[in-house]
Structure 1
Amino acid sequence: MPSALPDGLPAPLDGSLPASATAGDEPRPFGFYVHVPYCASRCGYCDFNTYTAAELGGGASQAGYADDAIAEVRLARGILGDADRPVETVFFGGGTPTLLPAAELGRILAAIRDEFGLAADAEITTEANPESVTPAYLETLREAGFTRLSFGMQSARTHVLHVLDRHHTPGRAQECVAEARAAGFDHVNLDLIYGTPGETDDDWRASLEAALAAGPDHVSAYALIIEDGTRIASRIKRGELPSPDDDALADRYLIAEELLTAGGLGWYEVSNWAANGAGRCRHNELYWTGADWWGAGPGAHSHIGGVRWWNVKHPKAYTERVTAGHSPAQGREILTEEDRRIERILLELRLKDGAPLSLLKPEGMAAAERAVKERLLDEDRFADRHAVLTLKGRLLADAVVRDLVD
């Protein structure tokens, strides 16, 4: 959940949505995102809307957070009315959701279930730092109805974790996978980061091999992005660390594709690999395909029927609003048809199934034809009226997208 919020239009105090947002004969897929903004310490690369105890200040607390989030869930039910919209996915992100007691996360999930109902096959995920959970904690989550866990492993190398200001012990993330399996979780993800200053190709291979050896059915691998205002950005600016090298990042991506594919995981989004369809993160697929979701918590973003809004950032301001029975939304925007067309290209092109060519204007179509010739888009899928990135195209995905949205 990025820390910077757009300006947008003022959001109504009662959170009401235009009638167009909920119109339509067929309800769209619907999910819930719950942002838990607390961390034990701040990672050097993190630009998310998170707070340590020292940064939190007065007027908000971890202890009262579940009640605040539940208040927003109930507000959401009132705003969306009585329409039958069972929740297909719930994702607890942060921050570190597992800094809250497992029973508190379970209470928030129960509120979503009570207010909206959960689909029979609902996917319920929480992110977790490896050092923030125990076998008993994971068992409580499973009993509460959670079905999927996502652990922030990042690297298997001590010196890489040190540069990232990650404080878990190498090997602990892999232990968590075994503990999650023992607790009854069928679906487990490990998050990895490549391109950290000081990381070598061998370091990256070791991290991938360690992740695969743990037996998750999903791995996310993200290139390190240097965000202004972060500790790592300051260290690079002072010359203490080198900037990530684009060629090295490309090499690391190719290594990830090679090892993860050999390990039985196939890519389905540029940065995500899964063992099979059931292993995919269905919640993220809601985002990538423009479905509906309600984002609860400080700084959380929501999207319902072409209306997008974002909550106030600070936990104190968030608590004050929901306690008063008001919407915590700070601003919003109503997407035009052109906005939605562009977003579909931006997001769907990153998927293995790609984006339909019908989304492209003549200039974009001409760019797509050039991309096929340059082997950035799959020629066979192009003939099938879809723009699908090749492996070379995945390395240059942002540039390809920029050309296609013209």
Structure 2
Amino acid sequence: MPALPDGVPVPADGALPGWVRPADGSAATRPFGVYVHVPFCSVRCGYCDFNTYTASELGGGADQAAYATTALREVGLAHRVLDDAGLGSRPVSTVFFGGGTPTMLPAADLARMLRGVDDAWGLADGAEVTTEANPDSVTPDSLRLLADAGFTRVSVGMQSAVPHVLATLERTHDPRRVPDVVAWARDAGLDVSLDLIYGTPGESLDDWRASLEAVLATGVDHVSAYALVVEPGTKMHAQVRRGELALPDEDDQAAKYELADDLLTEAGLGWYEVSNWARGPEHACRHNLAYWRGNDWWGIGPGAHSYVAAPSSARPAETHAGVRWWNVKHPRRYAALLESGASPGAGRELLTPAEAQLERVLLGVRVREGLDVAALDPSRRSAVAGLVARGLLDGVAAVRGRVVLTRRGRLLADSVVRELTP
């Protein structure tokens, strides 16, 4: 799994820089989300480089039974830190439980953590509350308990409907269970997303088509489809290096993306972010949109990242635009720091306006609403016309002053960003 980035130390009490304090009450209008990382999995998949652990890896001192209590300690710390910074009065717009497999914990523990978030800040009217889940980690009863506790959405890690593809990914669930899980979640009143991975070694275009058709047969209103990225340090990376697995080429990945876009669009699910499709705006994942739009969030849990923007009125000579920080990675160290009353923060970075601008472009072009041309550095606005001519940006949108990717542009989004940034 990847190392944490370098950064400056986080104060022992977790205090934020004084320049994040709003002087004009503007914080009340800035959306605020909470991410809760649950680092437990039943097995570690060969492609995964997330901060996750199996019971055998963790040993004593960081067991699942104590995790909700530990996470709630950080909720209390977060409430105090944000309140001291003048940012504690906002209700939470979105909550996202990710992992790992959050639903490895009892539904009662997830409910208790959500209740702690609500007690600290309050949930906004119509707040979106999501948990990730594996198909084999939920039951009709557990999903009903989550819905009764205030969860509104479940994101199910299906990955593929094809057994040999799942085997290569080391996913252990039975794909035949997925339609049942979707039905159980809907019966409980939850919105459902199915998450897919394409480009697994050995996956044919027909395999990928079968997975997409299986997803569409469930009638879900949201689908995420991500190209497999084999990260250094993972078991799959070692298998590829030894020649045991062969990765697909870029043309194969592009063909699979285009097939997904064709089939999902024909079924009434439109893209709203490069890797995400929804039946309508009401089904888009608002929590992830908040990341892409640069809103504030606090990440609870080992290895979780957080971000707070600096109000323009509070920036000293425009030298700071925001602060990002991240927690220590190992659950035992995370729990020990919180138990001692200290922040679990491992490091942080203070973003300059130029760095924040780069991130705004990097994230903003990924969403269907696009980016205002005026948000680009003046030296790069002339690049828009050339990108339109090459079919990477939508010409009609550009005339209206928006930077919006075409489908070809979505396939080459990183190249587009490089041309739009100094």
TM range (shorter): over 0.9
The residue correspondences of 1:251-400 to structure 2 (distance < 5 A) are: 251-305=255-309, 306-400=322-416
> Aligned residue for 1:165?
170
Distance apart, 1:131 and its partner CA: 0.4
Deviation by residue 1:80-109 (Cα, 9 ceiling, x = unmatched): 117421000000000000000000000000
CA distance in 2, matches of 1:119, 1:318: 29
| Structural RMSD (CA) | 1.0
Checking the alignment, whether the CA contact within 8 Å between 1:193 and 1:224 is kept in structure 2 is yes
SS at match of 2:175: coil
SS at match of 1:10: coil
**Matched residues, number:** 404
Off by >4 Å, runs of 4+ in structure 1: none
Checking the alignment, whether the CA contact within 8 Å between 2:199 and 2:247 is kept in structure 1 is no
Deviation by residue 1:23-66 (Cα, 9 ceiling, x = unmatched): 25322100000000000000111000000111113321111000
> Aligned residue for 2:113?
108
Checking the alignment, whether the CA contact within 8 Å between 1:350 and 1:389 is kept in structure 2 is yes
Checking the alignment, whether the CA contact within 8 Å between 1:3 and 1:299 is kept in structure 2 is no
The residue identity in structure 2 corresponding to 1:192 is: L
Checking the alignment, whether the CA contact within 8 Å between 1:49 and 1:95 is kept in structure 2 is yes
Alignment gaps of 5+ in structure 2: 310-321
Deviation by residue 1:136-179 (Cα, 9 ceiling, x = unmatched): 01011011110000000000000000000000001222221111
Structure 1 length-normalised TM: 0.98
CA distance in 2, matches of 1:405, 1:90: 32
> Aligned residue for 1:56?
58
Checking the alignment, whether the CA contact within 8 Å between 1:381 and 1:388 is kept in structure 2 is yes
Worse-superposed segment, 50-59 or 276-285: 50-59
Alignment gaps of 5+ in structure 1: none
The residue identity in structure 2 corresponding to 1:374 is: R
Distance apart, 1:369 and its partner CA: 1.8
Distance apart, 1:244 and its partner CA: 2.5
> Aligned residue for 2:26?
26
The residue correspondences of 1:238-249 to structure 2 (distance < 5 A) are: 238-249=242-253
SS at match of 2:224: strand
SS at match of 2:118: helix
Structure 1 residue 137 corresponds to structure 2 residue 122: no
CA distance in 1, matches of 2:350, 2:80: 20
Deviation by residue 1:221-260 (Cα, 9 ceiling, x = unmatched): 0000010111111111111111221100000000000000
From 30, 34, 37, give the equivalent of 1:35: 37
> Aligned residue for 2:211?
207
Checking the alignment, whether the CA contact within 8 Å between 2:135 and 2:158 is kept in structure 1 is yes
Checking the alignment, whether the CA contact within 8 Å between 1:22 and 1:304 is kept in structure 2 is no
Checking the alignment, whether the CA contact within 8 Å between 1:39 and 1:95 is kept in structure 2 is yes
Distance apart, 1:19 and its partner CA: 2.1
The residue identity in structure 2 corresponding to 1:397 is: A
CA distance in 1, matches of 2:96, 2:369: 23
> Aligned residue for 2:319?
none
CA distance in 2, matches of 1:392, 1:19: 44
SS at match of 1:203: helix
CA distance in 1, matches of 2:59, 2:2: 17
SS at match of 2:418: helix
Distance apart, 1:367 and its partner CA: 2.3
Structure 2 length-normalised TM: 0.94
Checking the alignment, whether the CA contact within 8 Å between 2:366 and 2:413 is kept in structure 1 is yes
CA distance in 2, matches of 1:316, 1:323: 10
Q: Identical aligned pairs, as a percentage?
A: 57
